[in-house]
Amino acid sequence: MPVNPQLPLSNPGPAITFIGGGNMARSLIGALVRGGAQPASIAVVEPNADLRGTLARDFGIAVHERAEQTSGDADVIVLAVKPQVLKQVCLDLAPQVAQSRPLILSIAAGVRIAQLREWLGVELPIVRSMPNTPALIGAGATGLIANAAADEVRRAQAEAILAAAGRTAWIEREELMDTVTALSGSGPAYFFLLAEALEDAAVAQGLPRETARALATQTCLGAGRMLVESGEAPATLRERVTSPGGTTAAALDAFANGGLRELAAAAIDAAVVRGRELAAAQG
């Protein structure tokens, strides 16, 4: 499906209640406020008093310890809690959402739409998503899928919230969300591992660690920007910087001989399998 780099919320926009005030919720709230959303339209339910205080101070939004303290008239409820507590959160929300009929936007890893529907006890528009940690700096990548009850307006609302913190892409089958999780959800860790390995290899060749880290990280940043901003395929850019018989070709031959592509495929497959196991464990 097409990737949407940005989709602004309408002004003044929907009333949004976040259940959970952790890092991902904070990143989305910050992106929404920076993008023009009115703080008065945003509320957070967070049991941790320190987190509540920080969110209220930094963004001027309403904060509550428990969901029943909210007005209950949110247009969108964002489920931003850990998967292992999401069932109880949904059961607690069930009476409220049965009356208000909001859009449910879940950013919890591994929890299926059917599970959310069962726990909430009523047919609601639901969008399940998988953002990643670069959303914390406005450079996230998020996969989304909606149930049949989510019309175009509801889909646009969900997309606008998540696009405030990066790029979005809709998928057509929910089982592919495990692949999204393995690719972009877990993907930043693969990237960090590569940067770490490049740094260590350069240090082994004699570069000071500070210099190796600076060059490795800036190279990764520059290459990533070229890939995004050029719109060209990775293979095209790779071929463009690879001269026959040169140093880049020698390095790429070493990667190929070491089975880099096969290793990447095995890593993605392992993450997909684990994602399915974790989803099954949610019951």
Phi-psi region of 44 (alpha: psi -120 to 50; beta: other; left: phi over 0): beta
pTM confidence score = 0.86
Rg (CA), the chain: 21
pLDDT of residue 87: 93
Determine contact, residues 46/20, Cβ cutoff 8 Å: yes
Task: Determine the residue type at 116.
Answer: L
**pLDDT, tens digit (0-9, with 9 covering 90-100), for 198-228:** 999 999 999 999 999 999 999 999 999 999 9
Determine contact, residues 161/14, Cβ cutoff 8 Å: no
pLDDT of residue 70: 82
Q: What percent of the chain has pLDDT over 90?
A: 82
**pLDDT, tens digit (0-9, with 9 covering 90-100), for 51-104:** 999 999 999 999 999 888 887 789 999 999 998 899 999 999 999 999 999 999
From CA 162, how far away is CA 28, in angstroms rounded? 7
Q: Residue 121 phi/psi, 5° resolution? A: 75, 10
Helix extents (H) in 35-133: 49-59, 83-100, 113-120
Instruction: Provide the Cα torsion 112, 110, 263, 256; round to 10°.
Output: 70
Any idea what the Cα angle at residue 142 is, between residues 240 and 199, rounded to 5°?
50
From CA 108, how far away is CA 103, in angstroms rounded? 15
Q: Hey, what are 46's tokens?
A: 């967070």
Domains of the chain, with CATH numbers?
A: 3-177 (3.40.50.720), 187-280 (1.10.3730.10)
Report the DSSP pairing between strands 103-106 and 76-79: parallel
Q: Hey, what are 73's tokens?
A: 């008239």
